[in-house]
Structure 1
Amino acid sequence: MIMSVSVGHSDIDSLVLAVRDREARRLIGEAITAYRGGALRSAIMSTWIAVAYDIIAKARELAGQGEAAPRALVTDLDAAIAAKDKRKLQSIESELLDKANSDLELLAPHEYSALARLQEDRHLCAHPAFVVEDELFQPSPELVRAHIVHALQHLLIHAPLQGKSAIARFDADLLGPAFPATAEDIGTFLRARYLDRAKDVLVVNLIKAIIAAPFGAERPKYASKVRTLAVVLREIAKSKTAIYDGIMPAFVAAKVGQIQDDVLLSICPFLESDARLWDWMLEPDRMRIRRLLETADVESLKAHAAFDAFAIPPLSAVLLERFNGFDLTTQISVVSEHPRRELVQPAIDLYSGAGSFRGAEMLGQSVILPTAPFFEQADVEALLGAVRENDQIWYAGGTPDVLEQVFDLTKTILGLTREYWQAFVDGQIARMEGDASEYYAYPGLQQKLAENP
């Protein structure tokens, strides 16, 4: 008597829609049809056929990309097919799952175990022992459904971007000229190319590779990419939060302790990306970082983007003390090259002390414009106050252009700062004896205020 298994639209149907390869989708569809019709042994055998086909399809895709191990597998398979060597073909099929796991690196350990159970059950269905009927292998509907779901989740819906080949491809992308520049674009790129259908094992390996890259034997080639790597890590954390939060505390605690002192400050951009890294570190490593921030010369601090550690309150105090001890030229270079919220007030202080027209123009370009995106309401008020009170600033030919750019960069808070801008231009018009068209009445700012009611 045939048992019918009635299952409507389910998570299986949703998974089938995500299968990449059209033929693999058709083959797993046959397995699902058999399962729903109660032909449970047939469903298991059809599921294995879909898995075997998909492994071979992925091997061919990877071989086409120049991967050595997949190319060797495809070469052996094609030779056996051409020679009609059935014994060789049987051997290849029996070893297919092992090769997918070890050579192609398509599977995580738990995924390999699940598909190995499918292969074992397939053998029981295809080669029953000659025993009485009651002792034949009788798969349950639940077991068959689990095999189908595992085949879909662990293999069929994923691109062949796993293991070392995926990490190598990411490395090439990162170091190439076309890698995105903004956090938003980086997030979109990562999701589309790597994360949307990535297995957990790929995400874990990618996270570990990103953390390790600036500190390993090949660190020179990543010297200019540390901040980009930190942004990549943050975007992975957004997309794969559970995986990221699950592995990072233990990994950070172990990894940071292995980093040599001469490159340890390169961890600072990662602290900016996720301040929790500071809590995940062991206390001896936190002590090392504090001491390095206290003693490193300014060029080392800039080279390692160490000022990103302002994101950590205990380190912010150390960095601010170091900053205050630098000469003016060094302070200007630090603000210009590493603008951030914590340096807004120092930037305004530097600007307010301008002693010449050209000095005011230089400071406007080098310290005010870089920090303007971080301005808050009180900062706009303080800036305009500094300009108003120093005739070397407001009477400098380049200041109107600087303030117009600041206006544009802080437009999102115009509702809070309009009164300051209006008071400033009103004061300048008064200085020009009521002539609003005078250059130092800042007609460009007047126009921007009128255009943004």
Structure 2
Amino acid sequence: MLDLEERVSRVFNPDVRPLVREAHRCYASGAARAAIVLTWTAVCADLIHKAEILKEDGESDARGLVEDVERAQQPGQADAVNIMLGIERSILDIAEKLELVDRTQKMQLERLREDRHLCAHPSLRPLGELFEPTAEYARAHLAVALEAVLVHPPSQGRKILESFMVQVADPAFTFDAQYLGYAFFDRVRPSARAKVVQFAAKFALLQIDDPHVTIPPGMLADRMALCLRHFAERDAALATDCVARHADRLLKADPAVQLAALARLGDLPAFWACLPEALIAQFNARVEGIGKAERTGALPAQEAKVFALVANAEVRTTLPALEGAFTALHVSDRCRVIGQRPNAYFAAHLPGVLEEVGSFDHGQFVARTAVLPCAGVLTLDDLRAVLRAWWDNDQCWGRAMPGYLVELYAATAHLGAQRDAVWREYLEELREFTPTFNEIARGTGLVEVQAD
């Protein structure tokens, strides 16, 4: 059952909140008529306040109502009561036009308005019968008022959607989860919230080229994917439903668009929850084909992002070809994949890529692209294996490689004091290589620098 006390504490307008609290006290004490009258009074006050805010924001449909209220409030206005009665008669129609309520909510609030009249004017009943609403009837009206109007800010579905698009498409956009949730999830009506999440899902999946947006479609889709992830954390069922609405369109989309969607959303459960089996099978075949393809250049970044999903156990199960295709890649391409998504899964692959280093330049590439990005997820056993492979391959000691070892030491601080014992063990093997030994000794501070 709806927790009325909790909802009352969330009433958006602090000036209206005392009215709502009084209505709740009347309901709780059995004064149902008073509760219904106060509930309608609170709804009117709340909608008038929201119309004033929207008028200030330039909403033309709010102007007439606000001007009528201001006219009624003028000193000496003899017709003030009749003006306010007219406002009460039209306020729900205007609220629907302003998207403050939907049609169903408007019908429920119209029932509240009629019952308010019956409570305030008992002569409306024939034969002198009094309207005697029950406490539960008053509670139902209060619950509707809270859910439909009172707890929500003056947000409009269309306006919120436009604002969301402007924010995300801004060239200077910076993802801020706290702001995103506050502005487009917490402070919007459920219907508008669903539109925002659905909008994010559509652009993230289909990489739509909007002529009104200045940034590239791929960049916009990546940003929308960040937003969709955050919304999914807040409401996984809503995110799944919104993704499902566009799954069939993704099935018919260009293969490049499909692959891009897999790359940016492949680790999101909502993505897989509604994909057609035919598309999943197509993804699996595509991954297998990429793994077997002959390439003269580097693995494209988009494909590397797809292969990086191999770090996710659920994706490995869904796309059984992925793991084998990853291990079949050239060592440099495997490093590019690891660099896309540093993860504990890849730690076991690092010794192998270090063993395959065939030149000083290649060693630098492997260290910079794969080993250092994964340093923060290494265990002590992983570190031992990485250092062993690094030590044993003489092509891992040229140029910047000693400096990279110092960076690796700093980046494994999460392993605590035990890492020092591991590093000292391997440093002892380096003593005969004085310049290299001294560079690492100075950088780590673990052993004394020896004389040249």
Aligned to 1:147: 141
Aligned to 1:125: 119
Q: Is the 8 A contact 1:425 1:446 kept in 2?
A: no
CA distance in 1 between partners of 2:259 and 2:13 (Å): 46
Unpaired segments of 5 or more residues in structure 1? 1-9
Aligned to 1:293: 287
**SS of structure 2 residue aligned to 1:41:** helix
Give me the identity figure in percent: 24
Aligned to 1:166: 160
User: How many residues get paired?
Assistant: 422
1:364 to 357, 367, 377: 367
**SS of structure 2 residue aligned to 1:258:** helix
Cα offset, 1:302, TM superposition: 1.0
Aligned to 2:249: 258
Matched, 1:207 2:200: no
Q: Which amino acid aligns with 1:405?
A: E
TM-score using structure 2 length:
0.78
Q: Which amino acid aligns with 1:444?
A: G
Aligned to 1:389: 392
CA distance in 1 between partners of 2:300 and 2:367 (Å): 26
Check 1:48–1:178 CA distance in 2 against 1; reply closer, same or farther (3 A cut): farther
Give the CA RMSD over aligned residues: 3.7
Q: Is the 8 A contact 2:125 2:131 kept in 1?
A: no
Q: Which amino acid aligns with 2:367?
A: G
1:163-217 CA distance string (max 9 Å, x none): 2222222233323366545xxx52x333333334444334322322221113164
Q: Which amino acid aligns with 2:190?
A: D
Which range moved further: 89-98 or 257-266?
A: 89-98
CA distance in 2 between partners of 1:11 and 1:227 (Å): 39
2:64 to 62, 76, 85: 76
Q: Is the 8 A contact 2:304 2:340 kept in 1?
A: no
Check 1:255–1:169 CA distance in 2 against 1; reply closer, same or farther (3 A cut): same
Q: Which amino acid aligns with 2:389?
A: A
**SS of structure 1 residue aligned to 2:160:** helix
Q: Is the 8 A contact 1:400 1:442 kept in 2?
A: no
Q: Is the 8 A contact 2:23 2:35 kept in 1?
A: yes
Matches within 5 A, 1:301-340: 302=302, 305-310=305-310, 311=312, 312-314=315-317, 317-324=320-327, 326-327=329-330, 330-340=333-343
Aligned to 1:62: 54
1:408-444 CA distance string (max 9 Å, x none): 3333234665543232223224x358x9x95255332
Q: Which amino acid aligns with 2:167?
A: D
Matched, 1:28 2:16: no
Which range moved further: 332-341 or 165-174?
A: 332-341
Check 1:305–1:52 CA distance in 2 against 1; reply closer, same or farther (3 A cut): farther
1:423 to 407, 425, 436: 425
Matched, 1:274 2:241: no
2:219 to 220, 224, 232: 224
Matched, 1:375 2:378: yes
CA distance in 1 between partners of 2:57 and 2:218 (Å): 28
1:287-307 CA distance string (max 9 Å, x none): 232233344688766179423
Q: Is the 8 A contact 2:209 2:217 kept in 1?
A: yes
1:357-387 CA distance string (max 9 Å, x none): 3432333222222233343444322210111
Cα offset, 1:345, TM superposition: 4.5
Aligned to 2:438: 439
Aligned to 1:406: 408
Q: Which amino acid aligns with 1:131?
A: P
TM-score using structure 1 length:
0.78
Q: Is the 8 A contact 1:428 1:442 kept in 2?
A: no
Which range moved further: 353-362 or 328-337?
A: 328-337
Aligned to 1:15: 7
CA distance in 2 between partners of 1:254 and 1:36 (Å): 43
CA distance in 2 between partners of 1:370 and 1:265 (Å): 25
CA distance in 1 between partners of 2:304 and 2:61 (Å): 44
Check 1:38–1:328 CA distance in 2 against 1; reply closer, same or farther (3 A cut): closer
CA distance in 2 between partners of 1:343 and 1:331 (Å): 10
Matched, 1:237 2:237: no
